[in-house]
Every structure is written in structure tokens, then in C-alpha cells.
């Protein structure tokens, strides 16, 4: 069985690397390398955005979370699904138009160009925020690779991390955004196949062996069979907000996702992307939730030293070898696609925002592309080191990164798009407040009471509004696009 799965892994990785090499010939400019040159179909960008947005967190982290919490884990999926739908329906076209208007390649560069009075301060703050938190996000993906390869082949987690790092760096190095997006599309399809096929197989197994999910939920613990975790009053509100708060990070502030919106070329492509993204979301999150519930029926609580290996364990148990190989490749796909996109975001922040724009280093397009490729290698290796020395859970690490980046930059984007009085001082205050509040919040017991994914968003938004009113720009920008204009 292991030989069959190993062969499939090798074939899969060879195909992905081959695609990357093909697209390396297309990425000739910095615009191509970081944003695809507006040449990619909307439906492909949607598959890429969804695969990038989920990663090992969905397949390993969320399924393990549902196994540990039961029915109340649904509110995480609900918050994320609503965030995805909102971003595609109300933000994607605005990103597309603003990118064309200001001729920018990255999210920090857009904010800097839009609020030119403090452009360099905004570039530095946003870029350092992204690089700092995203490196831990990349490390989380590589740690997920180690877990998966350990579960599948008995390969040491460290060996799995190193192997995954090599593949990730090769793909991102070769073709940049274009190769990442097209390999994302393949990997996104594999991810959703995994999340649809596995719960079907698990439900057949449960029925065949006279098991019961409902009875298992009752036996797993007093709160597992309750949609609200058996809580009432204030405790119920805390549970709801902590789980639902993933919603706030999807409102334009995740640069690896917003890059897909910025790469859209027209309204028709944006509409196609919206349809694909919404369907993908319902299939993927519905499947992941069912996998977690099925695992409660199949395994006793305490059966796993690490609940984040539940999904690959179920694949190996329930599937024939050749199907197991394909589905496990889907897990590896999730890790690779997200890590690639995050590496490109970090690379863009360093090469384009800091070196090229903030420091004013003048380079040719060819030199910028090679600078970006060099950055991919350096930051890929840093992510590998973080994965090797960190014992943090995927769910926890991704949650912190989601708060630090997504819930900090989301209010900045929303205020930019929909509030004419938002000022450059407000942008600086938003980013500074989000960064500081996240670091302070996750370092104290307050994180256990109310998640930073919720508090960071509102603290950052509050500071942005207050400082915009106190320190308005000398001359109001005319670049704001209203919601009505975007629709």
C-alpha cells in the first residue's frame, strides 16, 4: 500500500514542478511574477483564492477542531463562509478597479498610493506586519506537511518539513504568481475532491459498522451534541464570537487572497470567480465539518496524541491504496498552495514595497524578478526553521496570523473603499493599533476569554476612525469608490 501511495506522490509532485517550469518562461516582468499581468481567467483565480485561503488549516486543523468540540464547531465554518461570500460579491471588483487606477502590485503599495501623504510610513508598517505574521503562517503550513508525511509514511516530521519546503520553494521560485495560481487550480480541485469523498466513505463505514454519530456526540462529552456548546448567556456570546470571528479576516485584509482580486481583468471574470468560490466553499467546509463529526463516531476522545492527524488517518483506514494516494496528495496540495502564496506575499512586501518603493532602489524588471526569486528562497528557509522549532498547533498559529494580518488590514480596506473621510493618519493608526493589540492580546489570558480575531478588528477600526477625524488629510482623496459604483 505504501509503495502505491509513494509512487502517486512522486508523480503528483513531478507534474506540479513541471507546470511551474512551464510558466517560468511566462513570468518575465515584476508584474507577471507578483500579479500575473492580468492574464489569468477569473475561475482559475477563484480556485486559487479558495485553495490559498484554506490550506492545512482546513484539512488538518479544522477537522481536528470539530473532533474536539462537536456541533458548535459549525460557527467557525459559518463565519468563514459568510466572509468569503462577502469578499467576492462586494470587494473583488473594487480591488480590481483600484489596482488598475493606481497601477500597484501589492496591498501595501495600494494603501501607500491611495494615501500618498504618508506613503512610506504606510509601506513600512504594512510590509513589516505582513512579513512578521506571514512567516509564522508559512511555518504552520510546513509543520502541517511534517504531520501528514509522518502519518502517511512514518517519515520523521522534520524530514517531512524539509521535503515540503523544497517543493514549495521550487514552485514559487520558478514561475511566481502565474505558476502558483495554475498549480493552485489543480490542487484546489484535489482538495475539494478529498473533502467530498472522505465524508461519504466515512458515513458508509459508520452505517456498515452500526455506529451512530448522534449517540457518539452524546458520549463524547456534555457539550458535543449542542450547536452552542451547552452554553448560555455571556458564555454563549463568547463561544459564538470566538468561532464566528474568522469572518472579520476575510474582509479584504488577507494579502494572499486580495492578490487574486487584484489580478482580475474585468467584471465578467469577477462574476465567474464568484460562482466558483461560493460553490467551492460550501462543498469544502461542509465536507470538513462532516469529517470531524464522523471521526467522533469512529474514534474515542483521547485516541490521538495530536488531533490534527485525524484526516490522513481516516484516509488510510477507509480508502483503497490508489485512492488514498490521490486524496493524501490533496492534503499536500493544500499545504503547498497556501505556503506558495504566502511566500509570494512576503516576497512582494520585501522586493516591491520595501526595496523598490520605500528605499527607492532602481532595478530593471529582470533584476526585480530575480530579487523576488532570491527572496522566495530566503523566506522559504526561514519558514522551514520556524516549523522545525515550533510546537504550536496549526489552528492556533493560523488564528494568530489571521488576527495580526487579516483583522488589522481588513478595517483599513473597508474604510478606504467605503468612507471618504478616512485619512493617511487613520491608515497608520489602524495598522499600528492592530499590530500592537494583537501582540498584547495573544500574550495575555484575555485571548482565552475573547479571541484577538474579534478584538483586533474593532480596535484597529476604532483607531482608524478616531485619527481620521482628528488628523484629516490636507486635501481629500478622490479615489474612494462607493459600494454602489462597485456593483
pLDDT in the model for residue 293: 94
**Ramachandran assignment for 55, one of left (phi > 0), alpha (psi -120 to 50 degrees), beta (any other):** left
The domains of the chain are located at 2-391
The residue that leads in pLDDT, 184 or 270, is 270
Is the pLDDT at 481 greater than 60? The verdict is no
pLDDT-derived band at 292, boundaries 50, 70, 90: very high
Alpha-carbon separation of residue 288 from 59, 165, 191, 335 (angstroms):
7, 25, 10, 16
pLDDT in the model for residue 484: 42
pLDDT in the model for residue 288: 93
pLDDT in the model for residue 95: 93
Write out the DSSP string of 41-67: -HHHHHHHHHHHHHHHIIIIIIHHHHH
Q: Per the structure block, which three cell numbers stand in for 234?
A: 455571556
CB 194 within 8 A of CB 61: no
Interval 217-242 mean pLDDT: 73
Closest CA to 51 of 281, 383, 274: 281
At residue 266, φ and ψ (nearest 5 deg) are -165, 175
Interval 3-19 mean pLDDT: 74
Cβ neighbours of residue 472 under 8 Å, at least 6 residues apart?
A: 421, 423, 425
- d(Cα 472, Cα 460) in Å, to the nearest integer? 17
Digit-coded pLDDT (tens) for 133-160 = 878 778 877 877 777 777 667 777 788 8
Cβ neighbours of residue 485 under 8 Å, at least 6 residues apart?
A: none
pLDDT in the model for residue 477: 46
The residue that leads in pLDDT, 415 or 11, is 415
CB 123 within 8 A of CB 353: yes
Digit-coded pLDDT (tens) for 78-121 = 888 999 999 999 999 999 999 889 988 888 889 999 998 888 89
Q: Which CATH class is domain 2-391?
A: mainly alpha
pLDDT in the model for residue 209: 92
Q: Choose the weakest-confidence range: 13-27, 241-255, 352-366, 470-484.
A: 470-484
Q: Per the structure block, which three cell numbers stand in for 337?
A: 498552495
Q: Give pTM, 2 decimals.
A: 0.80
pLDDT in the model for residue 89: 93
- d(Cα 44, Cα 12) in Å, to the nearest integer? 19
pLDDT-derived band at 436, boundaries 50, 70, 90: very high
- d(Cα 478, Cα 406) in Å, to the nearest integer? 26
Q: Is 475 helix (H, G, I), strand (E, B) or coil?
A: coil
Gyration radius of the chain over CA positions = 22
Q: Is 320 helix (H, G, I), strand (E, B) or coil?
A: coil
pLDDT in the model for residue 478: 46
Euclidean distance between the first and the last CA atom of the chain, given in angstroms as a whole number:
52
HSE of 176, CA atoms in CB hemisphere, 13 A: 28
- d(Cα 334, Cα 321) in Å, to the nearest integer? 20
Q: Per the structure block, which three cell numbers stand in for 111?
A: 494603501
Q: Per the structure block, which three cell numbers stand in for 216?
A: 457518539
Is the pLDDT at 184 greater than 50? The verdict is yes
Average pLDDT taken over every residue of the chain: 82
The residue that leads in pLDDT, 430 or 308, is 430
Amino acid at each position: 500500500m505504501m509503495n502505491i501511495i509513494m509512487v502517486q506522490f512522486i508523480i503528483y509532485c513531478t507534474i506540479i514542478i513541471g507546470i511551474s517550469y512551464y510558466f517560468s518562461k511566462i513570468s518575465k516582468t515584476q508584474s507577471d511574477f507578483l500579479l500575473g499581468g492580468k492574464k489569468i481567467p477569473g475561475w482559475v483565480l477563484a480556485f486559487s483564492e479558495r485553495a490559498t485561503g484554506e490550506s492545512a488549516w482546513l484539512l488538518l486543523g479544522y477537522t481536528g477542531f470539530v473532533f474536539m468540540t462537536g456541533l458548535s464547531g459549525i460557527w467557525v465554518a459559518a463565519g468563514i463562509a459568510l466572509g468569503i461570500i462577502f469578499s467576492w460579491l462586494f470587494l473583488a471588483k473594487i480591488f480590481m478597479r483600484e489596482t488598475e487606477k493606481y497601477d500597484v502590485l501589492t496591498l501595501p503599495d495600494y494603501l501607500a498610493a491611495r494615501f500618498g501623504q504618508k506613503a512610506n510610513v504606510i509601506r513600512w508598517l504594512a510590509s513589516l506586519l505582513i512579513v512578521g505574521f506571514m512567516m509564522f503562517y508559512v511555518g504552520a503550513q510546513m509543520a502541517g506537511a511534517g504531520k501528514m508525511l509522518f502519518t502517511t509514511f512514518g517519515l520523521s516530521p522534520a524530514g517531512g518539513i524539509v521535503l515540503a519546503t523544497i517543493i514549495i520553494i521550487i514552485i514559487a521560485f520558478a514561475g511566481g504568481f502565474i505558476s502558483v495560481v495554475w498549480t493552485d487550480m489543480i490542487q484546489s480541485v484535489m482538495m475539494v475532491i478529498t473533502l467530498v469523498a472522505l465524508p461519504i466513505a466515512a458515513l458508509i463505514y459508520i452505517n456498515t459498522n452500526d455506529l451512530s454519530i448522534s449517540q457518539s456526540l452524546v458520549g463524547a462529552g456534555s457539550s458535543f451534541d449542542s450547536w452552542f456548546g451547552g452554553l448560555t448567556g455571556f458564555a454563549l456570546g463568547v463561544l459564538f464570537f470566538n468561532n464566528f470571528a474568522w469572518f472579520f479576516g476575510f474582509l479584504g485584509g488577507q494579502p494572499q487572497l486580495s492578490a487574486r482580486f487584484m489580478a482580475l481583468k474585468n467584471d465578467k471574470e469577477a462574476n465567474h470567480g464568484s460562482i466558483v468560490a461560493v460553490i467551492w466553499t460550501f462543498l469544502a467546509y461542509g465536507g470538513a465539518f462532516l469529517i470531524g463529526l464522523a471521526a467522533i463516531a469512529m474514534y474515542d476522545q483521547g485516541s490521538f496524541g495530536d488531533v490534527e492527524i485525524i484526516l490522513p488517518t481516516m484516509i488510510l483506514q477507509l480508502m483503497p491504496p490508489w485512492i488514498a494516494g490521490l486524496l493524501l496528495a490533496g492534503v499536500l496540495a493544500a499545504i503547498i498552495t497556501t505556503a506558495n502564496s504566502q511566500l509570494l506575499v512576503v516576497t512582494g512586501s520585501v522586493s516591491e514595497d520595501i526595496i523598490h518603493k520605500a528605499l527607492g532602489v532602481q532595478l530593471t524588471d529582470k533584476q526585480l524578478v530575480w530579487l523576488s526569486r532570491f527572496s522566495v528562497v530566503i523566506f522559504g528557509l526561514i519558514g522551514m526553521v520556524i516549523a522545525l522549532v515550533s510546537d504550536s498547533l496549526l489552528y492556533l498559529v493560523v488564528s494568530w496570523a489571521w488576527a495580526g494580518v487579516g483583522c488589522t488590514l481588513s478595517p483599513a480596506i473597508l474604510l478606504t473603499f467605503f468612507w471618504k473621510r478616512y485619512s493617511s493618519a487613520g491608515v497608520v493608526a489602524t495598522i499600528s493599533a492592530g499590530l500592537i493589540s494583537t501582540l498584547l492580546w495573544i500574550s495575555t489570558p484575555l485571548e482565552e476569554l475573547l479571541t484577538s480575531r474579534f478584538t483586533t478588528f474593532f480596535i484597529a477600526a476604532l483607531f482608524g476612525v478616531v485619527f481620521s477625524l482628528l488628523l484629516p488629510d490636507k486635501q481629500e482623496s478622490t479615489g474612494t469608490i462607493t459600494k454602489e459604483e462597485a456593483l
